[in-house]
Chain A
Amino acid sequence: NAGVTQTPKFQVLKTGQSMTLQCAQDMNHNSMYWYRQDPGMGLRLIYYSASEGTTDKGEVPNGYNVSRLNKREFSLRLESAAPSQTSVYFCASSDNRGQRETQYFGPGTRLLVL
């Protein structure tokens, strides 16, 4: 049982390049999330998926797109990377979107945009 896995662990991009961050969970959770974490700030929600086939914008969705490929996988795509997107990206999953459920986080992807 690996929990939440993310690939790659680290990536360097040039401005304007595109890439996809991959996330998978093996806990049969319905909900999945993408966050970014910047120094001195709390995690901020980029996009979330309450269930397979649905996605919704979070606090900071601009410049990103997501795909809920199936129940296990939720990918985050940067179509044209910008230096402001340099951050650590975390994927998380939970059983429900209810307010009492625990979110389980992946190890993160560290992205540097030059």
Chain B
Amino acid sequence: KNQVEQSPQSLIILEGKNCTLQCNYTVSPFSNLRWYKQDTGRGPVSLTIMTFSENTKSNGRYTATLDADTKQSSLHITASQLSDSASYICVVPYDYKLSFGAGTTVTVRA
């Protein structure tokens, strides 16, 4: 079954600190992996798209890594800001559809 699992379910960090979110997937065949950010009460917004050949991709303070051999990805947030408080969703396409993880809710506190 094509699945995307994320951990942790939620985390709280202090402003200025770093954090790392994990994503494991079983989707096959694999073509790319996306990370979306969803602010409370809003729709998801794309952060990064990583293809099979990309190990690391950055978007400002967000850095995504991909290990296609172990089918794992991580999203690292550097020097967190209050505006980083959101749900981060890992997404992997299959059969021209998307398989969504349940998301990790990040709360950044001052």
Which residues of A are at the interface with B, using a C-beta cutoff of 8 A?
A: 4, 40-45, 48, 58, 90, 92, 97-100, 102-108
Contact B43 A106 (CB under 8 A): yes
Which residues of B are at the interface with A, using a C-beta cutoff of 8 A?
A: 4, 9, 31-32, 34, 41-46, 49, 51, 89, 93, 96-103
Kindly list 6 other residue pairs between chains A and B, CB separation below 8 angstroms, not including A43-B100, A44-B100, A100-B32. Answer: A42-B4, A42-B89, A102-B49, A103-B46, A103-B98, A105-B44
Q: Decide if the interface of chain B is mainly helix, strand, loop or mixed.
A: strand
B32 in complex: contacting residue of A45, A92, A99, A106, CB < 8 Å: A99
Give the shortest distance, in Å, between B51 (CB) and chain A (any CB). 8
Task: List the A side residues contacting B93 at CB < 8 Å.
Answer: 99
A108 to B32, CA, bound (A): 25
Give the shortest distance, in Å, between B104 (CB) and chain A (any CB). 12
